[in-house]
């Protein structure tokens, strides 16, 4: 049930954008009207929509099955960048995916201001979609970047290989030539960042002012990229919405899960020849039998991903870029209803911790919060396990080496829908992208035009960060930097406040309940 709910929450439909009359182009772009842009691979032709330029489905790479990606092949003529990007192959969710699924899915979208930049170029936001590294799409209407472009930021969303095609380690099955295939999803993202570095100036963007951001598994992938030397220098800032920096496989775990997929596919000889729907079916069956949440995760292979990302960050080896990181107050309510949450903790709802530690933490939470029901306690514990504590640890690790860090907690409650009164997973996205009036968000969270002031306050705070400053807007108090002494955190709500160490009770519980052994050394 949790997996179905995740796919429902993180799946979606393409944005349907009206096509108004073309704006008068800036004289610097008069020869091409701003809608025909020359990239290194060839010319792309976009469209005007809602007053900004939109380019969709631009190829940034290509890859054979389970192979590392290569840059997109050059083309002649104009690439039609008005068609939706192809989505990575994935299992069906509760909502239909309106994109064409294809293994050749390394495509991205660009939303850019209509006018040419005057003086300094536009800052750039590169956003990595979520979906448990198994579902999701760069064209989901909730993460359309038109509102960022309207406020002077170029927004890029990109597809990367998901599931077995992007996160299945097969070196021990197919031979040395496929070693490292478990990190191909990350390799795709690195290639996408290189495309941005090489091409975004042609759209008016500044390749030296790239903010790398993601939500959910996209946020965990951002953290993994902070742990990946190949990504160093390709981004100047980072934002982590509901993520963490230690959701990775050991080589042994990766091999075990790959073997489970191969078995359900019918043998290693089918890996390279089976149609992708058969591969997707096999990965779904393997996931159902896996004793932990999120089996599609990067692998610490000692090469491309040399160590647990959190360890690299804590050791000061990662780029010391400004970081914005946080989570929602009631993340796990999206995945478990009250009856499910009231049951004993289930290993497939747990992402990082061994169940022995979770049992000890559950007992400690019961002592600390005796007034809570079993469901309330489990919701809070699972939220802390997958989101709250990982983002806190990330903030502490990055700030510990002098990088500017800002931390938040989204406490603003959904005004309606099945999660009314709570701040579940995904609620931050329509605020971040300023899309609270979408019908899908009305159904899911009860959002409407009445919530526009809240969305604008949060969205403009994000814009401020992407433009190189501290996050903040007219609807918020001054947002101080985070450090491990005060642990200042912006608690975003109807009336936002800055709280020092708002997680103190829970943080001390986690601190006093140590793991059995280091994360990278655990084996099932």
Catalytic residue numbers read 216, 331, 425
Distance CA 376, CA 65 (A): 44
In 143-298, alpha helices (H): 146-150, 163-167, 171-174, 184-199, 217-226, 251-265, 276-288
Distance CA 440, CA 12 (A): 8
Distance CA 428, CA 458 (A): 9
CA distances (Å), 108 to each of 57, 105, 264, 276, in order?
A: 5, 9, 32, 21
Terminal-to-terminal C-alpha distance of the chain: 23
- State the DSSP code for 67: S
In 299-373, alpha helices (H): 309-314, 338-342, 355-368
CB 126 within 8 A of CB 210: yes
466, burial (CB in 10 Å: exposed 0-12, middle 13-18, buried 19+): buried
- The alpha carbon torsion through 481, 487, 492, 494 (nearest 10 deg) reads -110
389, burial (CB in 10 Å: exposed 0-12, middle 13-18, buried 19+): buried
Distance CA 328, CA 434 (A): 17
517, burial (CB in 10 Å: exposed 0-12, middle 13-18, buried 19+): exposed
Distance CA 129, CA 218 (A): 5
359, burial (CB in 10 Å: exposed 0-12, middle 13-18, buried 19+): middle
User: Which letter, b or e, does each residue of 146-167 get, where b requires 16 or more Cβ atoms within 10 Å of its Cβ?
Assistant: bbbbbbebbbbbbbbbbbbbbb
Distance CA 109, CA 34 (A): 16
């Amino acid at each position: 049930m949790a997996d179905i709910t995740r796919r429902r929450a993180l799946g979606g439909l393409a944005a349907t954008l009206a096509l108004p009359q073309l704006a008068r182009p800036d004289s610097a772009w008069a020869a091409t009207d701003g809608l025909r842009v020359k990239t290194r691979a060839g010319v792309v032709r976009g469209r005007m929509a809602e007053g900004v330029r939109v380019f969709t489905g631009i190829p940034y790479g290509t890859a054979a099955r389970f192979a590392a990606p290569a840059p997109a092949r050059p083309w002649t003529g104009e690439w039609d960048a008005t068609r939706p990007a192809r989505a990575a192959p994935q299992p069906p969710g509760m909502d239909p995916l309106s994109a064409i699924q294809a293994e050749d899915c390394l495509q991205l979208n660009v939303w850019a201001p209509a006018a040419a930049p005057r003086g300094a170029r536009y800052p750039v936001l590169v956003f990595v979609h979520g979906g448990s590294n198994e579902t999701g799409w760069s064209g989901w209407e909730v993460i359309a970047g038109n509102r960022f472009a309207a406020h002077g930021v170029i927004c890029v969303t990109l597809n990367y290989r998901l599931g077995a095609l992007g996160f299945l380690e097969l070196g021990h099955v197919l031979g040395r030539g496929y070693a490292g295939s478990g990190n191909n999803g990350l390799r795709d993202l690195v290639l996408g960042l290189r495309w941005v570095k090489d091409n975004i100036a042609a759209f008016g963007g500044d390749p030296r002012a790239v903010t790398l951001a993601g939500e959910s598994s996209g946020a965990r992938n951002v953290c993994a990229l902070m742990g990946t030397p190949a990504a160093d220098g390709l981004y100047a800032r980072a934002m982590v919405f509901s993520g963490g920096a230690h959701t990775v496989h050991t080589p042994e775990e990766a091999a075990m899960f790959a073997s489970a997929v191969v078995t359900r596919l019918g043998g290693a000889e089918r890996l390279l020849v089976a149609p992708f729907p058969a591969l997707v079916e096999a990965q779904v069956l393997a996931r159902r039998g896996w004793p932990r949440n999120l089996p599609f995760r990067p692998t610490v292979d000692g090469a491309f991903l040399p160590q647990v990302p959190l360890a690299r960050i804590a050791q000061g080896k990662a780029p010391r870029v400004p970081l914005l990181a946080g989570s929602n107050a009631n993340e796990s309510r999206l995945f478990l209803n009250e009856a499910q949450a009231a049951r004993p903790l289930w290993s497939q709802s747990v992402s990082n911790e061994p169940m022995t530690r979770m049992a000890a933490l559950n007992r400690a939470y019961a002592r600390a919060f005796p007034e809570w029901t079993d469901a309330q306690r489990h919701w809070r514990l699972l939220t802390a396990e997958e989101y709250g504590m990982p983002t806190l640890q990330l903030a502490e690790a990055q700030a510990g080496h002098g990088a500017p860090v800002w931390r938040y907690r989204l406490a603003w409650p959904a005004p309606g829908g099945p999660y009314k009164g709570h701040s579940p997973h995904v609620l931050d996205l329509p605020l971040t992208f300023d899309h609270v009036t979408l019908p899908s968000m009305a159904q899911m969270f009860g959002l409407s035009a009445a919530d526009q002031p809240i969305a604008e306050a949060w969205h403009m705070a994000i814009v401020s960060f992407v433009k190189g400053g501290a996050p903040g807007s007219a609807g918020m108090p001054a947002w101080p930097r985070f450090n491990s002494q005060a642990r200042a955190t912006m608690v975003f709500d109807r009336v936002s406040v800055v709280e020092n160490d708002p997680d103190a009770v829970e943080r001390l519980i986690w601190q006093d309940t140590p793991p059995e052994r280091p994360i990278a050394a655990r084996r099932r």
